[in-house]
Structures are given as structure tokens and as C-alpha cells.
């Protein structure tokens, strides 16, 4: 029997009517001969209201206790959806992260899935047609409840799909993946197909519809991944292996990340220990550092990189603590920049993409301060103010 994994985010299950409508849609798929794993998040504002509750209790909840509290949100959603499905005649089992055999490792609030017990699903499908699984949660080696952090429910869904070797459909409040942000470039096209690699670049670079972690898992297991709007008839986007994509484009997307801080460190002489200490500290804090450029010149060492603006306090702490050992270390942080990226697996085969991109920016007087490239992307640090113009200019040039 055909099996699929579907995932619905917090907005999609935001109220009881939405839950009912989703239930009817799921039933029609079961009636057409499918068995489904349905992964859901906490309803709409549940998580926020739980967080608000604890602000009356403590300003520094222990992470382990917070994970315990927050996971009740998804547990309630799976209960509600299962009740409705059962009511309309679908044999349904609700499963928490633990019951679904989702084992995690790492920090209580930012865990990663280490292992999923596919046998649990196999067994449950013997007597049920739909398994409703709580997203965003798992259980670690000490049997403690953990959450998966940002985009966690997507990760749950993709990891389950990978473990039972089927496809994964992520339903959300966007129609799918666009070549660039339609709010910036209104002619932007909805992509029918995009490769894992391109999607990962777009996720990491701020397109923001899917966390790159989910796409990474899908890529590793060759899991076909769909992104589309909940209960919409518009066809969304399939994210799949590059080899299976029919219409190859040189450039698939243009992404803009305005939530970035550009950091420049200088030190009067080259010092590898300093660099080592810095990167150790960044890794320890699980910080996402990007666009790293390191130059040694007559003034000594110069290192630039970008971080998310939500991590500005952490980076300051890290650098301050480095200056205790390296008193001559100086740094500048700028938040008036944005990161602009041109993405496409076609870059591998087709020459001239980089030069066309540079030419386009220059001819439109868009200044850039740093450039880095990967195999399938070119990224520029530009003035934040000119970011959106740059997106439109490049989208037009590459027919996004």
C-alpha cells in the first residue's frame, strides 16, 4: 500500500475548524488507498501562551523542564486530530515523539534526531491507516523529552519519511518555493522542481521556507520532498535529486538575507591559535558562521564573516572573552549590510554565470564589499538599502 508522510505546521492546525478540514482531506486520501503518517506542530499560539505562563514563574527555566512543557502543545494537537479522524471513520493512532521511537541527541531544546524506529510505524500501520505524530519532539538516551529546535516539525516529518522510505509533503502557508521572494520581485515564479542542493542554499541563505537541516536529511536519504500550501489546489514545489530534474536552469534562485551582522576582526599579526580559539568557541555555541574571508596583509590578520543578527550577544561575549588573552584584538560589527546570493546547480556546468552576475550588479551601481562562492552559489555582502533592488535586478537578468 502506498504510504506518505505529511506535515502541517502550527498555523495550518491553528483552530479546530482547520483541524477538521485537514481531517477530511486526509480521509479522502485514505479512501483512495493510501496510508499516512501525519506530523503536526502545536496549534497556532499554544507555544507562545505556554512561554507566557512561565514568565510568571521564572525568568530562567531549565531547558529540560521547558522541553517537557512545550511538548505538551504537540501532544494536544495529535490528540485532537486523532479524535476527529476517528470520528469520521479513519483508524488512527496518535504518537508522541517517544512513542514514535524518535531518539535524539544533543541539547534539550536543540536536539537532533539520531535514530527512528521504523518498526513502530510498520506495527502501527497493521491496525491503523493514519498515524498522527507529534512533531518537534523526541527522547534522548536518558529518556528525557527533548525538542528539535527551529523547524523541528519539518525535521520530524522528513526523518520519518526517510526511515520508512517514502516521500514527505510539508504543508504550510506559502504556495511553494519561489525563485526569489515575491514580496521583493513580484514577477518571481513558483518553482515546480528544485534540487536538494539548491534548496539547501536557499534555506541557509534566508529564503526561509524550509530549514536546511530538513532538506539535508531528505538529500541524504533521497527522500522526495514537497512544499505547498495547506488545503490549496495550487501545485507546490517538489524538492528532489538534481539528476531527476528535467528542466535544468543555470540559476534557480536569488536570495536575500537582511538578518545578518557582518563582523570584521583585526589583529596586528598572523596568529593561528587565535583563529583556532575563535572557531572552537563558535562551534561550542553552535553558531552559524557564514561567508568567512580571511586575509593576511601588512596590517596583520583580517577576518570577516557574517552571523545571524539573533546571535549578536553571543558573538560579543565570545570576542570579549578572546580579548582577555589577545588584548590587541579589535573588532567591528555592522548590521547595515545584507547578504545577496545567486543559486543554481547549473553553475556547475554553465560558465559565465559569475561574470553575468558581477556585470549586472556593477552596471546597476550596486556596491558589494565581500564575495564568496560555493559550487552552486555566489554570495555578496551589499548595503542593506540596496538589497531589494539587487534582487530585482538579478532576478530579471536570470529570468527567475
Residue in 73, 55, 72, 92 with CA at minimum distance from that of residue 14? 73
Determine, following the binding rule CB under 8 A, whether residue 141 of this chain makes contact with its own copies.
Answer: no
Choose between 153 and 237: whose C-beta lies nearer to its own copies.
153
Question: Binders of its own copies among 306-345, rule CB under 8 A?
Answer: none
Determine, following the binding rule CB under 8 A, whether residue 369 of this chain makes contact with its own copies.
Answer: no
Determine, following the binding rule CB under 8 A, whether residue 21 of this chain makes contact with its own copies.
Answer: no
Determine, following the binding rule CB under 8 A, whether residue 83 of this chain makes contact with its own copies.
Answer: yes
Question: Per this entry, what is the length of the chain?
Answer: 400
Minimum CB–partner distance for residue 395 and its own copies (Å): 45
Minimum CB–partner distance for residue 29 and its own copies (Å): 20
Residue in 337, 347, 338, 339 with CA at minimum distance from that of residue 398? 347
Among 75, 302, 360, 371, binds its own copies (CB under 8 A): 75
Phi, then psi, of 42 in degrees rounded to 5: -70, 150
* Strands lying side by side in the sheet with 225-229: 92-95, 130-134, 34-40, 2-8, 167-172, 225-229, 237-240, 193-195
Among 31, 48, 52, 87, binds its own copies (CB under 8 A): 87
Determine, following the binding rule CB under 8 A, whether residue 131 of this chain makes contact with its own copies.
Answer: no
Beta bridge partners of 134: 40
Determine, following the binding rule CB under 8 A, whether residue 84 of this chain makes contact with its own copies.
Answer: yes
Among 79, 285, 323, 399, binds its own copies (CB under 8 A): 79
Judge contact between 393 and 361, C-beta under 8 A. yes
Choose between 93 and 213: whose C-beta lies nearer to its own copies.
93
Judge contact between 75 and 40, C-beta under 8 A. no
Determine, following the binding rule CB under 8 A, whether residue 54 of this chain makes contact with its own copies.
Answer: yes
Determine, following the binding rule CB under 8 A, whether residue 53 of this chain makes contact with its own copies.
Answer: yes
Among 27, 29, 93, 262, binds its own copies (CB under 8 A): 93
Choose between 115 and 280: whose C-beta lies nearer to its own copies.
115
Q: How many distinct helices (H) and strands (E) make up the chain? A: 11, 20
Minimum CB–partner distance for residue 247 and its own copies (Å): 44
Minimum CB–partner distance for residue 139 and its own copies (Å): 9
Output the DSSP codes for 307-373. EEGGGHHHHHHHHHHHHHH-TT-EEEEE-SEEEEEEE-GGGGT-TTHHHHHHHHHHHTT--EEEEEE
- Footprint on this chain of its own copies (rule: CB under 8 A): 16, 19-20, 50, 53-54, 56-58, 60-62, 64-66, 68-69, 71-72, 75-76, 78-80, 82-84, 86-87, 92-94, 96, 98-99, 143-145
Amino acid at each position: 500500500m502506498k504510504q506518505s508522510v505529511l506535515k502541517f505546521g502550527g498555523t495550518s492546525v491553528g483552530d479546530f475548524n482547520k483541524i477538521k478540514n485537514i481531517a477530511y482531506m486526509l480521509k479522502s486520501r485514505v479512501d483512495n488507498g493510501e496510508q499516512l503518517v501525519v506530523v503536526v506542530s502545536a496549534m497556532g499560539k499554544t507555544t507562545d501562551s505556554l512561554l507566557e505562563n512561565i514568565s510568571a514563574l521564572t525568568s530562567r527555566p531549565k531547558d529540560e523542564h521547558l522541553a517537557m512543557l512545550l511538548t505538551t502543545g504537540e501532544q494536544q494537537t495529535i490528540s485532537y486530530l486523532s479524535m476527529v479522524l476517528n470520528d469520521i471513520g479513519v483508524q488512527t493512532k496518535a504518537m508522541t515523539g517517544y512513542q514514535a521511537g524518535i531518539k535524539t541527541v544533543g541539547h534539550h531544546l536543540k536536539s537532533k534526531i539520531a535514530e527512528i524506529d521504523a518498526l513502530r510505524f510498520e506495527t502501527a500501520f497493521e491496525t491503523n491507516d493514519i498515524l498522527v505524530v507529534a512533531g518537534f519532539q523526541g527522547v534522548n538516551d536518558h529518556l528525557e523529552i527533548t525538542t528539535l529546535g527551529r523547524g523541528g516539525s519539518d525535521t520530524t516529518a522528513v526523518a520519518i519519511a526517510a526511515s520508512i522510505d517514502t516521500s514527505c509533503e510539508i504543508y504550510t502557508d506559502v504556495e511553494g518555493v519561489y525563485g526569489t521572494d515575491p514580496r521583493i520581485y513580484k514577477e518571481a515564479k513558483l518553482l515546480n522542481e528544485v534540487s536538494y542542493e539548491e534548496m539547501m542554499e536557499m534555506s541557509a541563505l534566508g529564503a526561509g521556507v524550509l530549514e536546511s537541516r530538513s532538506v539535508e536529511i531528505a538529500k541524504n536519504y533521497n527522500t522526495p520532498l514537497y512544499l505547498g500550501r495547506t488545503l490549496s489546489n495550487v501545485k507546490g514545489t517538489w524538492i528532489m535529486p538534481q539528476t531527476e530534474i528535467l528542466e535544468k536552469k543555470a540559476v534557480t534562485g536569488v536570495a536575500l538575507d537582511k538578518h545578518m551582522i557582518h563582523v570584521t576582526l583585526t589583529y596586528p599579526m598572523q596568529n593561528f591559535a587565535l583563529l583556532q580559539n575563535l572557531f572552537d568557541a563558535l562551534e561550542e555555541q553552535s553558531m552559524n558562521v557564514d561567508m568567512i574571508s580571511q586575509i593576511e596583509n601588512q596590517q596583520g590578520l583580517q577576518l570577516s564573516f557574517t552571523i545571524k543578527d539573533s546571535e549578536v550577544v553571543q558573538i560579543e561575549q565570545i570576542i570579549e572573552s578572546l580579548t582577555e588573552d589577545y588584548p590587541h584584538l579589535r573588532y567591528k560589527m555592522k548590521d547595515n549590510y545584507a547578504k545577496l546570493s545567486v543559486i543554481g546547480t547549473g553553475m556547475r556546468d554553465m560558465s559565465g554565470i559569475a561574470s553575468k552576475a558581477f556585470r549586472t550588479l556593477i552596471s546597476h551601481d550596486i556596491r558589494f564589499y565581500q564575495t564568496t562562492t560555493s559550487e552552486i552559489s555566489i554570495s555578496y555582502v551589499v548595503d542593506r538599502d540596496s538589497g531589494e533592488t539587487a534582487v530585482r535586478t538579478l532576478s530579471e537578468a536570470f529570468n527567475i
